[in-house]
Copies of this chain bind each other. A is one copy, B any other.
Amino acid sequence: MKQIEIKETEAVGETPLPYDLIELLFFAYRDFTRDPDDALAEFDFGRAHHRVLHFVDRNPGIMVTDLLSILRITKQSLGRVLKQLVDAGIIEQREGSHDRRQRLLYTTERGHTLAIDLTRLQQKRLERAQIDLPDGSEEIIRKFLLQMIDPEARQEIVKIIRSSFDLIDYSKPDQNK
């Protein structure tokens, strides 16, 4: 009944809307982020803390400025979260050896362990999601996700991820059918 109702309101001849993928992305991403969210709630940390912890752990010695540009948040937003992580002994700041203005960010041993633990939670979910998928699926998923990203941003993100994208030609980010 409802399905007919919907169909009727869609203009005839137009491409069907990809409601399934849209909603799957919504629900999948929600559950994906909930594993670490729940784990961090014990420390009174939230998703913002997780993102900072993740990218600092992945990029030891990252500058505050570079972290801001990855996360696309403002200095003020980062400030509080970062301070809490430093106070909790999860992240530490060291003066840059060449440029003494910099406060380079590193996870402490404890912070690194925590980051790995959270990543393992997400790993578990990702592995479970790939059960019974045919060979080559991971490469398809990777390419799909990369191409979901704004073309202008892809190259920079590939650098951040610095993973096995050798087969993807991201020098032509604007190609169309």
Contacts and interface: CB of A to CB of B under 8 A. Distances in A.
A25 interface: yes
B129 A147 contact: yes
Q: Report, as a range, how many residues of chain A touch the other chain.
A: 35 or more
Contacts of A58: 6, 19, 23
In this complex, the member of A22, A51, A175 whose beta carbon has the largest number of chain B beta carbons within 10 angstroms is: A22
A2 to B, nearest CB: 7
B122 A24 contact: no
Contacts of A164: 20
Interface stretch (A74-82, A90-98, A138-146): A138-146
A100 B36 CA distance: 42
Nearest 4 pairs of A and B residues by beta carbon? A20-B163, A28-B148, A24-B145, A129-B147
8 contacts: A2-B61, A18-B122, A23-B58, A23-B160, A23-B161, A129-B144, A129-B148, A133-B140
